[in-house]
Chains A and B, each alone.
Chain A
Amino acid sequence: MKLDTSGLESFPSLILHGNDVAGEISAPPSFDLPNSNDFDGFLKEAIQMVKPAKGTTTLAFIFKEGVMVAADSRASMGGYICECLSTLLFGTGRVLCYLLLIKQFFFFFIASQSVKKIIEINPYMLGTMAGGAADCQFWHRNLGIKCRLHELANKRRISVTGASKLLANILYSYRGMGLSVGTMIAGWDETGPGLYYVDSEGGRLKGTRFSVGSGSPYAYGVLDSGYKYDMSIEEASELARRAIYHATFRDGASGGVASVYYVGPTGWKKLSGDDVGELHYHYNPVTPSTTVEQEMVDAAAA
């Protein structure tokens, strides 16, 4: 089966392909595929055995000053063990997890509370991670390479439109193979702020407000009700932080640290990273009550 690996090529290969081990190691990268007659079925079965875990909240929105991007940091690992072959993967958001064959039953296990879900593609573009962590990390890094090559070849920065199109086309060519990526590409180019949603089904949407993940309904609620185009940077970052906090409060699969990034004309800047547990008490301070609910008094002497 011929797999289109042009998405991985970023440089012409200078080394001749040999059939020996040295050739294999220095050959341009390509994906190994299992030697099965039914490749589709192989992957589909693995996916079906898995109970999808959807643990994340990421959001991004455009406002007057630029783009605000925020995300939580929890990665959950979950699923049932089954007789079939599978492997355990970290997942965030619309995850695809393969699962492992030992006779144990895994409840939702927090694999990490400190996953970087906002990926720095280059100094003026950010990508968010939802879905398979490895998929997002790898393809964002690949996108960063392609963006840099574009800059070198064309002597100007790539636009957010162009970068998101590159990523969407790569993901479309792997459609049906089980990649799980739900990402937002946010950046600032010559036309101003740009925000695109790209996913592994091959979808690509331009927009001004997006939230992706299991906590997205909660984040949308807070985001949509508080959004104004003419916000200042402080107001926008507080809105983003609140939206993530509320999503982590209600969604069990989101949590950890709420990171907020701002993308402006000079590039991106990390504005804050706050533990959501601490944010809870910041937004809902505990006041010690001075009045006592019930007080014991001495019984009157009979």
Chain B
Amino acid sequence: MTKQQANWSPYDNNGGSCVAIAGSDYCVIAADTRMSTGYNILTRDYSKISHLAEKCVMASSGFQADVKALQKVLSARHLTYQHQHNKQMSCPAMAQLLSNTLYYKRFFPYYSFNVLGGLDSEGKGCVFTYDAVGSYERVGYSSQGSGSTLIMPFLDNQLKSPSPLLLPAQDAVTPLSETEAVDLVKTVFASATERDIYTGDKVEIVILNASGIHREFMDLRKD
């Protein structure tokens, strides 16, 4: 009796790329809006970004059904937190919550590659980058998704920030201004769209700063 193989997979990859950049008093989070499966485009207008808390935004690429489930779990937990503590969750707290939520599905992972961006308690930008099972670290910038291999080297070149492990410690956030960072993000997505078939259509850019949240869109190549 031969071993039975599963004839379907619970996972699918809907493609897409996300990027986040932390600044001294702002954070830019961006993701494209194309959702694909195999060589087909399912929609050109799908938001991969979720506003989890007042100062905390998550962008996720990968399997969007798992992403949607993850977003729902996190916003429910955040609501519970607000009821119990009478305040919003801070970005580092949400980062830890996301890590634990991902790890509790260690043996049947959420197929979701996340990037969390926001402002910490001092108002400085912070970006947290994750793998699929919850290992995370705070960084100055990050990208995830199908275009990340194209985007990361470019960000390393433009934004290379000193490692947070160096002693004496050096600041990891980029010295760029907010408009420069947004321009950089637009450039990055335009380039990634050229070479990655899963990235394109539109890029949704969310900017978090002291005055609140601001969202803008830019068109990308649709081919």
Interface, chain A (partner B; CB < 8 A): 21, 25-26, 29-34, 36-38, 41-43, 73, 77, 84-85, 87-90, 98, 100-102, 109, 111-116, 132-138, 177-179, 256-257, 259, 270-275
Interchain CB contact under 8 A, B134 and A137: yes
* Interface residue from A77, A133, A177, A273 paired with B166 (Cβ < 8 Å): A273
- Most A-side CB within 10 Å, residue of B76, B103, B109, B131: B131
Which of the segments B26-34, B51-59, B135-143, B179-187 contacts the partner chain?
A: B135-143
Asked whether A73 and B135 contact (CB < 8 A) given A25-B80, A33-B108, A102-B13, the answer is no
Interchain CB contact under 8 A, B9 and A134: no
Asked whether A113 and B163 contact (CB < 8 A) given A29-B104, A101-B9, the answer is yes
Interchain CB contact under 8 A, B13 and A100: yes
**Which residues of chain B (139-168) have a CB below 8 Å from chain A?**
139, 146, 149, 163-167
Interchain CB contact under 8 A, B107 and A275: no
Q: How large is the interface on B (under 10, 10 to 19, 20 to 34, 35 or more residues)?
A: 35 or more
Residues from chain B with Cβ under 8 Å of A88 in the complex: 113, 131-132
User: Is B11 positioned at the interface, with any CB of A under 8 Å from its CB?
Assistant: yes
A33 to chain B minimum Cβ distance, whole angstroms, is 6
Interchain CB contact under 8 A, A114 and B164: yes
Asked whether A32 and B137 contact (CB < 8 A) given A85-B9, A90-B131, A256-B165, the answer is no
Asked whether A43 and B9 contact (CB < 8 A) given A102-B146, A257-B163, A273-B166, the answer is no
Interchain CB contact under 8 A, A270 and B167: yes
A111 (CB) vs chain B CBs: closest residue: B131
* Interface residue from B13, B133, B167 paired with A89 (Cβ < 8 Å): B133
A-B contact pairs, 13 of them (CB 8 A): A25-B77, A34-B108, A37-B4, A38-B4, A88-B113, A88-B131, A90-B131, A100-B13, A116-B165, A134-B103, A135-B106, A257-B166, A270-B167
C-alpha gap A62/B163 in the complex (Å):
28
A138 (CB) vs chain B CBs: closest residue: B103
User: Is B102 positioned at the interface, with any CB of A under 8 Å from its CB?
Assistant: yes
C-alpha gap A21/B77 in the complex (Å):
11
C-alpha gap A101/B6 in the complex (Å):
15
C-alpha gap A270/B73 in the complex (Å):
37
* Interface residue from B73, B135, B163, B167 paired with A25 (Cβ < 8 Å): B73
Q: Which 6 A-B pairs have the closest CB atoms?
A: A133-B135, A134-B135, A273-B167, A134-B133, A114-B163, A90-B131
B76 to chain A minimum Cβ distance, whole angstroms, is 5
A56 to chain B minimum Cβ distance, whole angstroms, is 13
Residues from chain B with Cβ under 8 Å of A90 in the complex: 131, 135
A173 to chain B minimum Cβ distance, whole angstroms, is 13
Asked whether A134 and B165 contact (CB < 8 A) given A29-B104, A34-B107, the answer is no
Residues from chain B with Cβ under 8 Å of A137 in the complex: 99, 134-136
C-alpha gap A275/B111 in the complex (Å):
33
C-alpha gap A84/B135 in the complex (Å):
23
Residues from chain A with Cβ under 8 Å of B85 in the complex: none
Asked whether A259 and B106 contact (CB < 8 A) given A36-B6, A38-B3, A101-B13, the answer is no
A157 to chain B minimum Cβ distance, whole angstroms, is 24
Interchain CB contact under 8 A, B6 and A89: no
C-alpha gap A174/B20 in the complex (Å):
35
* Interface residue from B113, B131, B163 paired with A273 (Cβ < 8 Å): B163
* Interface residue from B107, B129, B163, B164 paired with A32 (Cβ < 8 Å): B107
Interchain CB contact under 8 A, B163 and A89: no
Asked whether A109 and B149 contact (CB < 8 A) given A31-B104, A33-B107, A134-B131, the answer is yes
Interchain CB contact under 8 A, B107 and A133: no
Asked whether A34 and B103 contact (CB < 8 A) given A114-B163, A259-B165, the answer is no
Interchain CB contact under 8 A, B9 and A256: no
Interchain CB contact under 8 A, A275 and B166: yes
Residues from chain A with Cβ under 8 Å of B108 in the complex: 32-34
Interchain CB contact under 8 A, A73 and B102: no
A132 to chain B minimum Cβ distance, whole angstroms, is 7
User: Is B44 positioned at the interface, with any CB of A under 8 Å from its CB?
Assistant: no
Interchain CB contact under 8 A, A32 and B104: yes
Residues from chain A with Cβ under 8 Å of B195 in the complex: none
A257 (CB) vs chain B CBs: closest residue: B165
A101 (CB) vs chain B CBs: closest residue: B13
* Interface residue from A85, A112, A275 paired with B137 (Cβ < 8 Å): A112
Give me 8 other A-B pairs in contact (C-beta within 8 A), A43-B107, A134-B135 excluded.
A34-B108, A85-B9, A98-B132, A101-B13, A135-B106, A256-B165, A259-B167, A274-B167
